[in-house]
Structure 1
Amino acid sequence: MERKLFTSLQGESSDQLNNSLSKQGFRRSQNVLYRPTCADCSACMSARIRVADFKPSRSQRRAINKNNYLKRAATSPWATEAQFELFRDYLETRHADGGMADMDVFEFAAMIEETPIRTRVIEYYITSRGGTPRELAATCLTDLLDDGLSMVYSFYKPDLVKDSLGTYVILDHIEIAREAGLPYVYLGYWVPGSPKMGYKARFSALEVYQGGQWVDMIDPEDFAAEAHPLESEPIAQQVAKIDLPDTHTVPHPSREPRSEY
């Protein structure tokens, strides 16, 4: 049984609330911020990269070189047919049994466009010899926080997996953050022992949100995937410890039970 704390993003305080709660392990999905708070498991930990301290590994430098033919374009959060086709190909190849596998074009458009905060769509194109964008290779829905970039969701051409395109998109976001003087790139949740999320632990200068604070990940093996039920604080105590921005208009986090992990 999955359980989450969640709150809606609405009104003039949306950016302020998103900035504050993202620093406390929350993630955005359309107009909702959420954080896992399961009673007997603490495996899902928000992860972020310290941009100033990041140093690419040898394989990550190869990924940069392999994809130097791509052209980056940042646009407003607006869904396109090319994005949806790429999204469907990506899901059918990489996550055919995932929770998003049956998402239709209207739900996809909502994922991209329903955002009350500063958001961009970062696209990567295969270019012609003259440098003109020719074919969409990757897309990332990216939130702009006051202390970094939050990679909400990314997808790419499945046949380019051999070029480590997914890794390259993260590396390019690190470069965007560096150029903008932003200290962090938020990667979403990391789960110890999960093969699908193992790639996040390969980035240096990685921090995870554990026990109410950001801690360095030195060795992924140091992080247990489960917690005893008695170690989980009651919901009321968890909510009381959340640091909300100084405004009277932000909604308070609540509890959302889920039957599907």
Structure 2
Amino acid sequence: MNTQTSPSPQFYLTAPAPCPYLSGEMERKVFTHLVGQRATEMNDLLTQGGFRRSQNIAYRPACESCRACVSVRVLVNEFELSRGFRRVEATNADLVSTVFPAQPSTEQFSLFRHYLDHRHQNGGMSDMSALDYAIMVEDSHVQTRVIEYRLRVPGDGISAQPRGELIAVALSDLMSDGLSMVYSFYNPEMEKRSLGTMMVLDHIRRAKALGLPHVYLGYWVQGSKKMGYKTRFQPQEHLMHQGWTRFPLESEG
């Protein structure tokens, strides 16, 4: 059996399936495997080209009649906190964020299940088991990290293993030109904290500290309420047919 990886990625096309974002639409995806010594390099190139990573697969929409899914990245060096974002940061000033290798934990999975059961009961991930979660976190051939966000307790400011309650988690890829937010989840009962927004703001801060110009937020889907929040992080670029383009366009005001 030949186990050598091909020098060029091989791409495949999925069968049509109902779109999870727009009612009445059908989705198809083109995908390839991210494995071998070139996985990190390919992840960078494909993400910059509008792909997303899920485990060891990079994919992007290839729908026949719809182009609603648009890749979004925040321009880190130009980003400024709005009054609303400052409120989110102030509300979450009692949190400690810690970066770990891409390794799952029972505590993470418990929060993950709590999040799915409250926010995505009928989604494609709704029946994921602890093993499924472990694979989602560990099955990566690129530079992936887990960021945990915990309520601060005495001593957590200097501890490498904070002990406060875990209330949010982000799975992120470190790329040559930015951070890519692969998946994030949080305690759905803490709505007033705006934890989803907080994690994006934290990634922008981390990218800036690392000298990286972008934070990749995945796809924005015009007309989908689930994705509407992504356009709040300005300035940003959308990947259009002519390449990465500032959004909104200057002509749009």
> TM over 0.5, yes or no?
yes
Residue 189 (structure 1) aligned with residue 227 (structure 2): no
Give a deviation string over 1:53-87, Cα, whole Å, max 9, x none: 11122111100010011001100000100000000
SS in 2 for 1:56: coil
The answer to whether the aligner puts 1:133 opposite 2:163 as a matched pair is: yes
Match of 2:114 in 1: 89
Q: Kindly state the Cα deviation for residue 98 of structure 1 after the two structures are TM-superposed.
A: 1.0
- 80, 88, 105: which one aligns with 1:80: 105
Mapped to 2, the partners of 1:100 and 1:215 lie a distance apart of 32
The superposition leaves residues 236-259 of structure 1 with CA deviations (integer Å, 9 ceiling, x where unpaired) of: xxxxxxxxxxxxxxxxxxxxxxxx
How far apart are 1:208 and its partner, in Å? Answer: 1.2
Q: 1:156 aligns with which of 168, 174, 186?
A: 186
Counterpart pick for 2:69 among 24, 27, 44: 44
CA displacement, residues 134-170 of structure 1 (integer Å, 9 cap, x when unaligned): 1111100000000000000000111112111110000
What CA distance in whole angstroms lies between the structure 1 residues aligned with 2:184 and 2:55? 14
Q: Give the AA of the match of 2:225.
A: P
Identity %: 48
Residue 147 (structure 2) aligned to one of 98, 114, 122: 122
Secondary structure class of the residue paired with 1:72: strand
> SS at the partner of 1:40?
coil
- Give the corresponding residue for 2:55: 30
Partner Cα separation in structure 2 for residue 76 and residue 178 of structure 1: 21
- The answer to whether the 8 A contact 1:24-1:212 is kept is no
How many residues are treated as equivalent by the alignment?
220
Report the more deviating stretch, 209-218 or 114-123. Answer: 209-218
Q: Which residue of 2 aligns with 1:215?
A: 245
Q: Give the CA RMSD over aligned residues.
A: 1.2
Asked whether the 8 Å contact 1:72–1:124 carries over to 2, the reply is: yes
The residue matched to 1:122 in structure 2 has which SS? strand
Match of 1:113 among 119, 122, 138: 138
- 1:3 equivalent among 28, 33, 37: 28
Q: Give the secondary-structure state (helix, strand or coil) at the position aligned to 1:158.
A: coil
Following TM superposition, by how much is the alpha carbon of 1:130 offset from its aligned partner in structure 2, in angstroms? 3.8
Question: Paired residue for 1:245?
Answer: none
Is the CA contact 1:48–1:208 (under 8 Å) kept in the aligned structure 2?
A: yes
Map 1:170-189 onto structure 2 (within 5 A): 170-189=200-219
What secondary structure, in the 3-state scheme, does the structure 2 residue paired with 1:21 have?
A: helix
Answer whether contact 1:71 1:133 (CA < 8 A) is retained: no
Partners in 2 of 1:16 and 1:178 — Cα distance? 21
Tell me the residue number matched to 2:4: none
Q: TM-score, normalised by structure 1?
A: 0.82
- Following the alignment from structure 2 to structure 1, what is the Cα–Cα distance between the partners of residues 41 and 143? 11
Query: 1:35 is matched by which residue type in structure 2?
Result: R
Residues 56 and 204, structure 1, Cα contact 8 Å, conserved in 2: no
Q: What is the rounded CA distance, in whole Å, between the counterparts of 2:169 and 2:119 in structure 1?
A: 15
Structure 2 unpaired stretches of 5+:
1-25, 157-161
